[in-house]
Structure 1
Amino acid sequence: MPSASAPAPARWRRALVPVLLGAALAACSARPTPPAPALAADGVPESRPGWAIGYLPDAAVPDSLALLPPPPSGEAAALDQARMQAALALHGTPRFAQAAVDAELQFPQAAPLFACALGVEIDLQHTPATWRLLRRSLADASRSTRKAKDHYKRPRPFLANHAPTCTPQDEARLAHSGSYPSGHTAIGTLWSLVLAQAAPGHSDALLARGRAFGESRVVCNVHWTSDVVEGRFMGMATFARLQAEPAFQADLAAARRELAAARAAGRVPQRDCAAEAAVLQVAANPG
Structure 2
Amino acid sequence: MRRARLLAGAVAAALLAASCAVNASFPAPSRVESAAAPQPYLAPEVLAFLANEVPPPVTDGSPEAAADLRESLRWTALEDSDRWRLAQTHAEVRPHLAVQHFDCPLNTRLADAPPPALLRVLGRALQDASVASNAAKSVGFRPRPIAGDPDRRACIRVDDDLRASASHPSGHATVGALWGRIMAEVAPDEAEALTRIGEEIGVSRAVCGLHYPSDVAAGQALGAALFEALRETPDYQADLVAARLEVAQARTSGHLNPGCAAERSALGQRPS
Calculate the TM-score normalised by the size of structure 2. Answer: 0.81
Which range moved further: 57-66 or 96-105? 57-66
CA contact (8 A) 1:141 1:235 kept: yes
1:1-287 pair list within 5 angstroms: 48-49=35-36, 51-61=37-47, 63-73=49-59, 74-123=62-111, 125=113, 127-162=115-150, 163-168=152-157, 170-266=158-254, 268-283=255-270
CA contact (8 A) 1:141 1:183 kept: yes
How far off its partner does 1:265 sit? Answer: 3.5
- Name stretches of at least 5 consecutive residues in structure 2 with no aligned partner: 1-21, 24-32
Q: 2:26 corresponds to which residue? A: none
Q: Distance in 2 between matches of 1:80 and 1:110?
A: 28
- Assess, with a 3 A threshold, how the Cα gap between structure 1 residues 271 and 132 changes in structure 2: closer, same or farther: farther
Q: Distance in 1 between matches of 2:114 and 2:218?
A: 34
How far off its partner does 1:117 sit? Answer: 2.4
C-alpha distance after superposition, 1:32-54 (max 9, x if no partner):
x97xxxxxxxxxxx9724x3322
Which range moved further: 173-182 or 105-114? 105-114
- Name stretches of at least 5 consecutive residues in structure 1 with no aligned partner: 1-32, 35-45
Q: Distance in 2 between matches of 1:95 and 1:262?
A: 27
Q: Distance in 2 between matches of 1:124 and 1:249?
A: 25
How far off its partner does 1:174 sit? Answer: 1.6
Q: Distance in 1 between matches of 2:54 and 2:94?
A: 27
- Assess, with a 3 A threshold, how the Cα gap between structure 1 residues 161 and 140 changes in structure 2: closer, same or farther: same
CA contact (8 A) 1:62 1:237 kept: no
CA contact (8 A) 1:192 1:206 kept: yes
Q: 1:233 is matched by which residue type in structure 2?
A: A
State the identity as a percent.
35
Aligned partner of residue 175 in structure 1, secondary structure: helix
Q: 1:67 is matched by which residue type in structure 2?
A: E
C-alpha distance after superposition, 1:192-240 (max 9, x if no partner):
0000011110011112212221110001000000001111110011101
Aligned-CA RMSD value: 2.1
CA contact (8 A) 2:108 2:253 kept: no
Which range moved further: 112-121 or 227-236? 112-121
Aligned partner of residue 61 in structure 1, secondary structure: helix
Aligned residues between the structures = 239
How far off its partner does 1:66 sit? Answer: 2.2
Q: Distance in 2 between matches of 1:63 and 1:264?
A: 41
Segments ≥4 residues shifted beyond 6 Å:
none
Aligned partner of residue 96 in structure 2, secondary structure: coil
